[in-house]
Structure 1
Amino acid sequence: MTTLAQLRKAALALPEVTEGTHFGMVAFAVRDKGFASVTRDGQVQLRLTSTDTDAAIDAHASGERLERNGKPIGFRIVLADINGKDLNALVRAAWAHRAPKRLANDLAAAEAGADQPDCALPAAIGRPATRALLGAGWDTLEKIATHSQAELLDLHGVGPKAVRILTEELTDRGLAFREP
């Protein structure tokens, strides 16, 4: 069962996302373009391409096409009916659909950099943490040191193990996380 907290973590881990409300619903936007919201009765609504919507409907029988004025605009499903991994992928697809293309391309390039041997982050933190940090634009230990441990843990993919390894690396270089 997926929760609003998990949705929030996945959405806010993406670049330039803000949380607010839209018609009384918790909503997430990238550069003022909404891509995800949660209704009062616990349904997550995601703005997706028609191809992504069709795939989501095929994968989740309890979901449905989201329409506005008779025009399909995305996918809706009860939050509790979707697992976290699938929700994360759909949130990412919705973000990419609504984000400016250059921003989406920059994130994709940063994430591809996680596979490059010249990546400045320690490999021991794992690929999910590396992708999350690169996606947030934190590609060096110096940039990571300008954030608190809590900010890192708020990124989807960064867990206690990655924070412990980064703490050790920062200490070895005479750096430390910013105090909250």
Structure 2
Amino acid sequence: MFNTVRRNFSTSSAQLSKVYFDLTINNSKQPRIVFELFDKTVPKTAENFRALCTGEKGFGFKDSIFHRVIPGFMAQGGDITHHNGYGGKSIYGNKFEDENFEIKHTKPGQLSMANAGPNTNGSQFFITTVPCPWLDGHHVVFGEITEGLDTLKTVESYGSPSGKPKAEIKVVESGELKD
């Protein structure tokens, strides 16, 4: 009686969420970083990051810092509660489970959840600066930089072997980009 229309959806970038960070390094404005989130593969993890970018739940990444930057590895931020690497919370409560490990750490600019062991995801994340295959199966990759890899390289240049940044690297604005 009714004709059924079947739609095929691809994972083209037009259908994936895009969010951004505007950063300062020692109060000096940096070019914007734009991320594409992998909504289809890890929807819960992507939604957590998107909502923290917009601040729509009453808390988020705005005014948070990158507290750990190790050259030749990654830049870590997202501690929105203690601002020192020991805090954070998700939009689902304090912590949430690892969604899956389908996407691997294969290149610079990938967004992945920082954690303290299995199923301890909150708001902390890191951005790879190199491929990191040893993290596969331990950290959920949920997005990647589509604009602003040069800004990531600048952030990386302020890192140290201990991870303590040589400058304050701050997210002064974050949000979602709509097409």
TM range (shorter): under 0.3
TM-score (norm 1): 0.28
The structure richer in helix per residue is: 1
TM-score (norm 2): 0.28
> Higher Cα Rg: structure 1 or 2?
1
